[in-house]
Amino acid sequence: MRITALAGGVGGARFLRGLLHGMATGLVPEADVTVIGNTGDDIWVHGLRVCPDLDTVMYTLGGGISEERGWGREAETFTAKDELAAYGVEPAWFGLGDRDIATHLVRTQSLNSGYALSDVTAALCARWQPGVTLLPMSDQRAETHVIVDDPSGACDDLGNPMQIAIHFQEWWIRWRASIPAHGFTVIGMEDARPAPGVLEAIESADLILFPPSNPIVSIGTILQVSGVREAIIRTAAPVIGVSPIIGGRPVHGMADACLQAVGIDTTAEAVARNYGSDLLDGWLVDTSDSDVVSKVESLGIQCVAVPLLMSDLDATAAMAARAIDLANLTRA
Ligand code: FO1
């Protein structure tokens, strides 16, 4: 069986770890898994190319992730970051870990030598052996920016706050998504093409999964890459999503801030509606949201309420098993 998953950072990576655990324990049938990773979060920092969502998937599945943070390396130190701050070098707000720097050095040198991001990602994965084929959504640079009121308080001559675009990482890390976002724009998306293997992974899949990643800035960004949404709509394979919202709250990260920015309610139903029945065949919601099952089904998306808290590997594997059950149901 071939499974293709679109994934962002922490939530998506942890779900995929559960999926692989389910395969290892027989709870889930064996499958070749391809992950299409979001690269909209990527950023140049101190001359290094950082790919947060690709690295989070690679480290989480490869056993190098910091469980405490959900990103970056375990047993990490931040000596270089402190030294940079001592020089007054910006951005001081970006947490560049000493071990993590090795990944960015290898990536940056390879990119500067002319290798494509997809080649570099494959080379990095040769070390980490994540157990999946990890593809960037695109080899072209496409970086999510957030439209915010200028944090300096600058206003136009009518007294309205000036709006500026800041890099997603600055909004996410420096401001903790606390300054209201008026929207997102992925700079470079117009020239971004699916990376080699991306469309093939969608077209050859027996099952397509949307893990509980951020539906706007992670999976939503991947869907903006030309041809990706159309390929998913065209495929005969079931497309099953897992709600990242439980009981009106995001499980990881600050998806609520992203949903509010684009005028989508922070509910399991609203996220399913936003994806739409042209994309989704099935949608898993948490048992605490079982009241939305009929509303989601009225959208033409089959819906099941199951425990969605990824409290441990077995619980997450059980979620993956229910996603596969739902896929079989939608095939019927
Ligand atoms: N997230 C933070 O909240 N603070 C950080 O300083 C930070 C640094 C960082 C460095 C490398 C990396 O791969 C991820 C990092 N993240 C940090 C997480 C990252 O901002 C988010 O995980 C994704 O961009 C959103 O999924």
Tens digits of residue pLDDT in 63-111? 999 999 999 999 999 999 999 999 999 999 999 999 999 999 999 999 9
pLDDT at 253 over 90: no
Q: Nearest Cα to 33, choosing from 117, 126, 131, 127?
A: 131
Q: Are residues 94 and 59 in the same domain?
A: yes
Half-sphere exposure (CA, 13 Å, Cβ side) for 65?
24
Q: Using one digit for the tens of pLDDT, what is the confidence trace for 2-30?
A: 999 999 999 999 999 999 999 999 999 99
Shared domain check, 159 and 108: no
Mutate to test the pocket of ligand 1, among 48, 145, 172 (most ligand atoms within 8 A of CB): 172
Say what percent of the chain tops pLDDT 70. 100
In testing the pocket of ligand 1, which one of 10, 57, 71 has its CB within 8 Å of the most ligand atoms? Answer: 71
For residues 180 and 301, state if they share a domain.
no
CB-defined site of ligand 1, < 6 Å: 8-9, 41, 50, 52-53, 55-56, 71-72, 94-95, 100, 169, 172-173, 253
| Local structure of 237: helix, strand or coil | coil
DSSP structural state of residue 151:
T
Q: Please tell me the pTM assigned to this model.
A: 0.97
The Cα 27–Cα 20 span in angstroms is 10
How far apart are the CA of 100 and the centre of ligand 1, in A? 11
Residue of the nearest CA to atom 14 in ligand 1? 52
Select from 126, 161, 184 the last residue of a domain.
Answer: 184
Single-letter amino acid, residue 45: V
Q: Which atom of ligand 1 is nearest to the CA of 70?
A: 22
Q: How far apart are the first and last CA of the chain?
A: 17
Q: Find the domain containing 209 and state its range.
A: 2-138+191-331
How far is residue 129's CA from residue 123's CA, in Å, rounded to a whole number? 10
**What pLDDT was estimated at residue 331?**
84
Q: Do 116 and 218 sit in the same domain of this protein?
A: yes
CATH code of the domain containing 197: 3.40.50.10680
Give the chain's domain count: 2
Q: Determine the Cα–Cα distance for residues 96 and 312; give it in Å rounded to an integer.
A: 28
Residue of 75, 47, 78, 57 whose CA lies nearest to 11: 57
Asked if residue 203 and residue 316 are part of one domain, the reply reads yes
Question: Span 195-223, mean pLDDT?
Answer: 98
- How far, in Å, from the CA of 52 to the mean position of ligand 1? 6
CA of 331 to the centre of ligand 1 (A): 38
Q: Do 180 and 77 share a structural domain?
A: no
Atom of ligand 1 nearest to the CA of 55: 13
Residue 160 and residue 124 in one domain: no
Write the residue with the smallest CA distance to atom 2 of ligand 1: 173
Nearest to 122 by CA among 131, 134, 108: 134
